[in-house]
Amino acid sequence: MNPLELAEAEPGPAFTVTLDGREIDALPGQTVAAALWAAGVTSWRTTRGEGRPRGIFCGIGVCFDCLVTVNDRPNQRACLVPVRPGDSIRTQEGTGHER
């Protein structure tokens, strides 16, 4: 059993996005975070101070831990932003403005 089977989900066709250039599959209706979790990825940011990895924590837009760069826009909350075909998702390092 997986969550899609549990809810008898019949999503539209999967599409491709990239995480740091690597192609991963995503489904319509997923957030960026859900697509990354489904691809087995749990961290996509390093902190400004210690460079420690972070990913989802609160899952509802309160904590800002899941910040990520999507299509060159840094500091997007992965738990809120819907994933779209062709999205270029990049691990956000520090403030996201340093590259």
Question: Under the rule (CB under 8 A), what is the footprint of other proteins?
Answer: 1-12, 27-31, 33-35, 37-38, 42-43, 47-50, 52-65, 67, 73, 76-77, 79-82
Q: Least Å distance between CB 54 and other proteins? A: 6
Q: Least Å distance between CB 99 and other proteins? A: 19
Of 18 and 95, nearer to other proteins (C-beta) is 95
**Burial classification of residue 73, based on how many CB atoms lie within 10 Å of its CB (0-12 exposed, 13-18 middle, 19 or more buried):** exposed
Compute how many other C-beta atoms are within 10 angstroms of the C-beta atom of residue 19. Answer: 20
Grouping H, G, I as helix, E, B as strand and the rest as coil, residue 93 is strand
β pairing state of 15-19 and 88-90: parallel
Task: Report the alpha-carbon distance of residue 32 to residue 17 in Å, rounded.
Answer: 10
Of 18 and 26, nearer to other proteins (C-beta) is 26
Q: Least Å distance between CB 98 and other proteins? A: 16
Of 19 and 67, nearer to other proteins (C-beta) is 67
